[in-house]
Amino acid sequence: MATDNEFSNNMGGKSNFAKKRTSLNNLIGGLGKLPPQALDLEEAVLGALMLEKNALSEVIDILKPESFYKEAHQKIYEAIFSLFQQTSPIDLLTVTAELRKMGALEMVGGAYYITQLTDRVVSAANIEYHARIISQKYIQRELIKVSTEIINSSYDETADIFDLLDHAEKSLFDIAQNNLRRDSRKMDDIMREAISNLEMLRDRTDGLTGIPSGLTALDRMTSGWQPSDLVIIAARPAMGKTAFVLSVARNAAVDHQRAVAVFSLEMSSVQLVNRLIAGETEIEQEKLKKGNLADHEWQQLHSRIGRLTEAPIIIDDTPALNVFEFRAKCRRLKAQHDIQMVIVDYLQLMHGKSEGKGGGNREQEIGSISRALKSVAKELNIPVLALSQLSRAVESRPGNSKRPMLSDLRESGSIEQDADMVLFLYRPEYYGLTEDEEGRPTAGVGEVIIAKHRNGETGIVPLKFVGKFVKFVDLEEDFGGAGGDSFGTPDSFGSALGPSDAFSNFGGNFDTGGITMPSRMNDMPDDAPF
């Protein structure tokens, strides 16, 4: 019988049979590949850990037991780590004894194998470099595992494609995250971190533990926007929801250099930036809208936008965003820009599923959206601030007070359930209320009503709404000043006005039934979109 080469030569070239044979060999070779591994380096690292007592501190943040390919090596590393937790010395004898106590000595090859490991190295000089190679091989194995699962799931005709995409991206994201931090931690490890945080906070004078809002009285009640919290900011139209979150985003990014992502489903990115420019330059938005600026205002514009231009603010104005896209984009922004806070404007414009996919009613969809927002906050360990509309029940409420309540949250009780904090924005003058119950003027006053606070106090925080500059600022301490055209921000809580301080100058106690301050602020037009 002719060989493949002879058959090929007789045909004047490579035959189809030979081509198929080559493809089959390649396929078999592909199926026969070993997972990425570095057994010699694993042995060298374990040997070095038993030679030098301080070697483990160089690799403890890099390696986990599962980072080792060989199961015996995983057990040996577990024994070394266990000795470290007990503050016991780590050497050939103690590791052997610990493995015997664990009942794994024979499984790893006995005391003789442990001795062989120490013979392979003379020092731990390059242990960190070797450990990183072991970690890279582990990541490669995890990528192969996840990719295989994705391939198998992709052949399943019954699988939901968007759930599959979400699972695929989350799995890949988890590989990166899990190699920077551990998912499960023991109590003593967590306790050390908690005590360390308390000691760090002891030295701080501002009392902030989260992302600052830049609004002193609000930060005093909340200690800043807390990691993993879902904060719902709800109000009727024209109350200033967008103005409020843009003020918060600007303060966090410009004054404190915290990266902020803003998802605007209602307004374009240019419209949002124009609002930020108005607040930063203190040029009226109406003038910016028309471009009708005097020469000195152009100079004022260019001289003041420098800090805003350099601010770490990322704006995404994708319309009709669904929760799958939102999660995917947040993960990418966290990986690329290390975002510290996410703002969504606004919740009711999001979709729970991809467009064209059937689902339950709108209330169930809003519930799935609020759960997704909370999930992102927890997964990325950052605060998520989501704007929400209120129902018309506020408008029909009898009496002069139109302050919203939790029951006014529109379309779903899940919003209240999932939120760690619910804030309402309320401006009495919008309803034509020129005075409150005690006769105090309401012009230029905005209230932030903390209706739910899972980890803190509730109450009302009075703020000044600067309509022509489209922003919220702290109330002035000196009420006989400039009449509302220029406001400073207190540097510390000690100089800030609290709910009770703000109205002590008016001869009365603070009353949550009516919070007002005199102002000569110009109001925005009634049709201004807030």
DSSP string, 373-433: HHHHHHHHTS-EEEEEEB-THHHH-SSS-----GGGBSS-THHHHH-SEEEEEE-GGGGT-
- The whole-number pLDDT of residue 69 equals 92
Q: Look at residue 488 and tell me whether its pLDDT is greater than 50.
A: no
Q: What is the band of 20 on the pLDDT scale with cuts at 50, 70, 90?
A: very low
pLDDT of residue 482: 33
With a cut of 50, say whether residue 388 has pLDDT above it.
yes
- What confidence tier does 353 reach under pLDDT thresholds 50, 70, 90? low
The predicted model gives 485-500 an average pLDDT of 36
Q: Would you state the pLDDT for residue 297? A: 80
SS3 48: helix
Cβ within 8 Å of residue 131, ≥6 positions away: 45, 58, 59, 62, 63
Position 6 scores a pLDDT of 43
What average pLDDT is seen over the chain?
74
Distance (Å, whole) CA 389 – CA 349: 10
**Mean pLDDT computed over 69-90:** 87
The three-class DSSP label of residue 362 is helix
Comparing C-alpha atoms, which of 388, 342, 341, 349 is closest to residue 365? 349
pLDDT reported for residue 77? 92
What is the tens place of the pLDDT at every residue in 451-482? 888 888 888 888 888 777 888 888 763 333 33
DSSP codes of every residue in 477-524:
S-TTSSSSS-----SSGGGS--TTGGGGGGTS---TT-------PPPP
Q: Which of 108, 53, 61, 105 shows the shortest CA–CA distance to 84?
A: 53
State yes or no: pLDDT of 73 exceeds 90. Answer: yes
pLDDT at 454 (0 to 100): 85
User: Residue 175: which pLDDT band, with cuts at 50, 70 and 90?
Assistant: confident
For residue 495, pLDDT over 50 is answered with no
Q: What are phi and psi of 233, to 5 degrees?
A: -115, 110
> How big is the chain, counted in residues?
530
pLDDT at 220 over 70: yes
- Residue 119 or residue 137, greater confidence: 137
Mean pLDDT of 275-283: 82
Confidence (pLDDT) at 29:
42
Which of 137-141, 165-169, 279-283 has the highest average model confidence (pLDDT)? 137-141
Q: b/e map of 483-512 (b: 16 or more CB within 10 Å)?
A: ebeebeeeeeeeebbbbeebbeeeeeebee
What integer pLDDT is reported at residue 410 of this predicted model? 64
**Residue 71's pLDDT is what?**
92
Q: For residue 135, which phi and psi values (nearest 5 degrees)?
A: -65, -40
CA atoms of 234 and 412, how far apart (whole Å): 13
Specify whether the CB–CB gap between 252 and 262 falls below 8 A: no
Cα(432)–Cα(497) distance, rounded to whole angstroms? 26
Lowest-confidence pick of 144-148, 179-183, 262-266, 424-428: 179-183
Does the structure show a pLDDT above 80 at 325? no
pTM of the model: 0.56
For residue 153, pLDDT beyond 50: yes
Which pLDDT value is given to residue 476? 67
pLDDT band at 201 (very low <50, low <70, confident <90, very high): low
Phi and psi torsions of 67, nearest 5°: -65, -25
Write out pLDDT tens, residues 23-37: 434 433 445 678 888
Q: How much is the pLDDT for 457?
A: 84
* Domains assigned to the chain: 39-179 (1.10.860.10), 208-352+363-474 (3.40.50.300)
Average pLDDT (211-224) is 85
At 83, is the pLDDT very low, low, confident or very high (cuts 50, 70, 90)?
confident
What residues contact residue 188 under an 8 Å CB cut-off, 6+ apart? 85
The pLDDT assigned to 205 comes to 61
pLDDT tops 90 at residue 68: yes
pLDDT the model gives residue 118: 84
The backbone torsions φ and ψ at residue 471, rounded to the nearest 5 degrees and listed phi first, read -155, 160
Of all residues in the chain, what percent carry a pLDDT higher than 70? Answer: 76
Q: pLDDT-based confidence at 160, cuts 50/70/90? A: confident
How far apart are the C-alpha atoms of 83 and 75, rounded to whole Å?
Answer: 13
Listed range (180-194, 288-302, 485-499) with the worst mean pLDDT:
485-499
pLDDT grade, residue 411 (50/70/90)?
low
Distance (Å, whole) CA 466 – CA 240: 10
pLDDT at 179: 64
What average pLDDT does the segment 419-434 reach? 82
Render pLDDT for 223-236 as a digit per residue (tens, 0 to 9): 888 888 898 888 88
What pLDDT score does 90 carry? Answer: 86
Beta strands of 90-229 (E only): which ranges? none
Residue type present at position 321: L
pLDDT tops 70 at residue 200: no
Contacts of 191 (CB under 8 A, 6+ apart): none
Q: Looking at residue 356, what DSSP letter applies? A: T
* Sign, CA torsion 291/293/298/300: negative
pLDDT of residue 520 exceeding 60? no
Q: How far apart are the first and last CA of the chain?
A: 86
The mean pLDDT of 394-405, rounded to a whole number, is 72
